[in-house]
Amino acid sequence: MSEGEISILEREELERKEILKRYKSLLRSIRHDLTKEQKKGIRAAFDLALDAHKDMRRKSGEPYIYHPIAVAKIAASEIGLGTTSIICALIHDVVEDSDYTVEDIRRKFGDKVAKIVDGLTKIKEVFDHTDSMQAENFRKMLLTLSDDVRVILVKLCDRLHNMRTLESMSRKNQLKIASETLFLYAPLAHRLGLYNVKSELEDLSIKYTQREAYKDISLKLNAKKAARDRFIRKFIEPIKKKLEESNLKFEIKGRPKSIYSILKKMSQQGIPFEQVYDLFAIRIILDSEPDKEKADCWTAYSIVTDIYKPNPARTRDWITTPKSNGYESLHTTVMSSDGKWVEVQVRTQRMDEIAEKGYAAHWKYKNSKDGIESDHKAGGVDGWLARIKDILENPSTNALEFLDDFKLQLIHEEIFVFTPNGDLKKMPKGASALDFAFEIHTQVGSKCIGAKVNNKLVPISHILSNGDQVEILTSEKQHPREEWLHIVITGKAIARIRNFLRESKREVAEKGKELLKKRFSKEKVDFNEDNIHKLVKYFKVQSALDLYYSVSKELIAPEKLEISNIINKKPGTQAPKTVAASSKPDSSAKKNEIIVGDEFDMPYSLAKCCSPIPGDDIFGFITIGEGVKIHRTNCPNAVSLMSNYGYRIIKAQWKDSMVKHEKRFLAGIKLIGIDDVGIVSSLTEIISKNMGVNMKAITIESHDGTFEGTISVYVEDTKHLDNLINKIKQKHPTMNVYRIEVGS
């Protein structure tokens, strides 16, 4: 053995010490006093996990047990969960990764722990990948969630730790896991009020999916830190003085906005980093007596707005009516003395803890001192869980549909509307009168023909606004229709309408089946599965049910139903219907510029939705029938593709960037500015003077002294495009110029 090397035995000994050290640090991070029983439970869970994972290592090479210990520590110290959750966190991967079963867990730790661990265990993949394995697993987890919210809380700790250690995963898995996190887990954390977890998950996600943008923003944030700190100090000085004079106990701090929220603002408004003004928010946290909370917050508010002028359109009172995830706070945006808008949040310590730790803290204030230790449900989260249950209870919904529905429940902001007798109902923003009708009762929704909003008659598709008073009008003759699916957004309404449609389709199909049977016997053909299958193929419908339905609805003309003819025809004969030819891969991509997977000559085509050009961060998506499609990792469709069909993602990269690309790639540029007659000729001049850029199209529209334009150009790569954008900006400094997807 050479010098500096250590033996396997020595290494094992070092690791054993390190494991114990980490376990002890977990115990220290638990902030409530443990009973003897609880201590024993945690130790037993640790021992079980240690044994189950003894021969396993993480991708980074570390002993696997580091992971469950870290997850348990997040649960204890960052979310403030209780003993049961800590035990579950320690053994959350045991059933999935070892021979221990849920039964074993039940015997050792009881029903509750077994149920939670079961919820956290992925479905064994009996068959090969189905289209919706990820969706199925997610649904399974949520089924347990409606019994016990701790399943999802522990799952979030697990996800957070996996995201923190994502560096050692393969690029493909990084993309898959990061997208799934952005698509589902961050919104879920938000919905449960876990703001810190949510922001960290979002930032970590874009660190992997939008590497360049992430690096760029974090560098710029760091560079401006000193100036920002100076600004904050100056801004809060007078507020501090006045708050002290009025004898309030408080803490005041400037909090930077997350990289994700800055990036979102940049891309939504098409502005560069320099134009994002609210890079931070000021937070005033008051130490108030329970019965003085609201009054103290408004006192602080009036002190702030005496010093700085508020923007009345941006004041929010979530103390009088908290958000349904429990969030309470007073927000306002004021004008600083330097002419910059600054957001100020006022809340008490209790509200602050709820805002940061969400559901868990809420429960804590409602009940005992040691975190969530019962199935008790807190505040507005109850209503939300009830709505999720609604979707879950609909057994025929398939997993992907379910995932979409569930996702809808996560992303919507809320509005408040009133019933005719003044009851307050929370609805997602964008909900229609019909959504509201289903919210009241399935029968009311099914029979809805219109509504009165603030005493004015409106159609069922009318979008509700905050504060509306809504009265639903019904008719016995009404029933749900297919088109209704386009005017509702709540899970409950969608599920109920789909259910009804499925049922009524089945009834209609039943009649069609009888009709078809008669036809068969008239032509003396056997009514059997084989022959039905031939008809299904001939008429190009999805299933026998669709065939019966089409016959009943006369979508298939009765005179075309010459059954014996069709059935006795040779295979390969087709219905005289025209079928759209599947679109050919983009011809511009014939000579490979991209390495897909590890192969140099795998065929691919460039996705139209985001039209990648060399230099963009890209990935491949294996489509059915159209080969591999190349998308940008920040494509608007990417997140949902990667989270629903992770196994169809394949890594892709541009060939050596040093080699000049022979081809040109289509890219879009958006321009917004002050109207100017010479603009088109000025732009075409810049473009024609830029070596090698060819313009495909230009449109400029002007209205009220401003104009909006798009140009599509053929460029070599991102550098080439950036160069062009910079040239336009130099020539027209006040203009907003940025890249867009070609189709948009």
Q: Which residues are catalytic?
A: 96-97
Which C-beta is closer to Mn ion: that of 122 or that of 729? 122
**At its nearest, how many Å lie between Mn ion and the CB of residue 114?**
17
Window of 93-101, 351-359, 383-391, 455-463 that interacts with Mn ion by CB under 5 A: 93-101
**At its nearest, how many Å lie between Mn ion and the CB of residue 195?**
23
**At its nearest, how many Å lie between Mn ion and the CB of residue 477?**
54
**At its nearest, how many Å lie between Mn ion and the CB of residue 158?**
4
Q: Contact 570/578 with Cβ under 8 angstroms? A: no
Question: Residue 26's closest CA among 61, 78, 64, 62?
Answer: 78
Query: Using CA atoms, how far apart are residues 693 and 590, in angstroms rounded to an integer?
Result: 21
Q: Convert 462-475 to b/e letters by CB count within 10 Å (16 or more is b).
A: bbbeeebebbbbbe
Window of 76-84, 89-97, 209-217, 530-538 that interacts with Mn ion by CB under 5 A: 89-97
Which C-beta is closer to Mn ion: that of 163 or that of 493? 163
Q: How many CA atoms lie within 13 A of 22 on its CB side?
A: 22
Helices (H), 146-248: 150-164, 171-180, 186-191, 195-209, 211-223, 225-245
**At its nearest, how many Å lie between Mn ion and the CB of residue 529?**
45
Q: Which two three-digit tokens encode residue 494?
A: 């969608």
Indicate the residue whose CB is closest to Mn ion.
158
Enumerate residues 6+ apart whose C-beta is below 8 A from 42.
Answer: 27, 34, 83, 86, 87, 90
The SS3 call for residue 685 is helix
**At its nearest, how many Å lie between Mn ion and the CB of residue 246?**
49
Long-range contacts of 359-367 (CB under 8 A, 24+ apart): 359/149, 359/153, 359/192, 359/193, 359/194, 359/325, 359/326, 360/79, 360/80, 360/81, 360/153, 360/194, 361/80, 362/193, 362/326, 364/80
The count of other CB atoms within 10 Å of the CB of residue 608 is: 14
Enumerate residues 6+ apart whose C-beta is below 8 A from 422.
Answer: 469
Helices (H), 246-336: 259-269, 293-307
Q: Does residue 435 bind Mn ion (CB under 5 A)? A: no
Query: Using CA atoms, how far apart are residues 44 and 477, in angstroms rounded to an integer?
Result: 63
- Applying CB under 5 A, among 52, 72, 93, 344 the residue interacting with Mn ion is 93
Helices (H), 458-581: 491-522, 529-538, 544-552, 563-568
Which C-beta is closer to Mn ion: that of 93 or that of 593? 93
**At its nearest, how many Å lie between Mn ion and the CB of residue 52?**
12
Which C-beta is closer to Mn ion: that of 158 or that of 200? 158
Window of 42-50, 117-125, 153-161, 485-493 that interacts with Mn ion by CB under 5 A: 153-161
Which C-beta is closer to Mn ion: that of 120 or that of 545? 120
Q: Which two three-digit tokens encode residue 83?
A: 């003993």
Q: Compute the C-alpha angle 644/141/62, nearest 5°.
A: 80
Which C-beta is closer to Mn ion: that of 66 or that of 549? 66
Window of 3-11, 88-96, 628-636, 706-714 that interacts with Mn ion by CB under 5 A: 88-96
Which C-beta is closer to Mn ion: that of 345 or that of 643? 643
Which C-beta is closer to Mn ion: that of 91 or that of 563? 91
Query: Using CA atoms, how far apart are residues 723 and 687, in angstroms rounded to an integer?
Result: 11
How far is CA 280 from each of CA 38, 224, 334, 507, rounded to the nearest angstrom? 42, 12, 13, 59
Q: Convert 211-236 to b/e letters by CB count within 10 Å (16 or more is b).
A: eebbeebeebbeeeeeeeeebbeebb
Window of 151-159, 275-283, 369-377, 534-542 that interacts with Mn ion by CB under 5 A: 151-159
**At its nearest, how many Å lie between Mn ion and the CB of residue 89?**
9
Q: Contact 724/694 with Cβ under 8 angstroms? A: no
**At its nearest, how many Å lie between Mn ion and the CB of residue 64?**
9
Window of 157-165, 281-289, 316-324, 537-545 that interacts with Mn ion by CB under 5 A: 157-165
Compute how many residues bind Mn ion; rule: CB under 5 A: 2
Query: Using CA atoms, how far apart are residues 151 and 92, in angstroms rounded to an integer?
Result: 10
The four Cα atoms 58, 399, 175, 141 give a dihedral, to 10 degrees, of -40
Which C-beta is closer to Mn ion: that of 32 or that of 122? 122
The SS3 call for residue 624 is coil
Which C-beta is closer to Mn ion: that of 39 or that of 54? 54
Window of 91-99, 229-237, 503-511, 731-739 that interacts with Mn ion by CB under 5 A: 91-99
Sign of CA dihedral 725, 728, 733, 734: negative
- Applying CB under 5 A, among 78, 136, 148, 158 the residue interacting with Mn ion is 158
The count of other CB atoms within 10 Å of the CB of residue 501 is: 16
**At its nearest, how many Å lie between Mn ion and the CB of residue 48?**
15
Which residues of this protein are in contact with Mn ion, per CB under 5 A? 93, 158
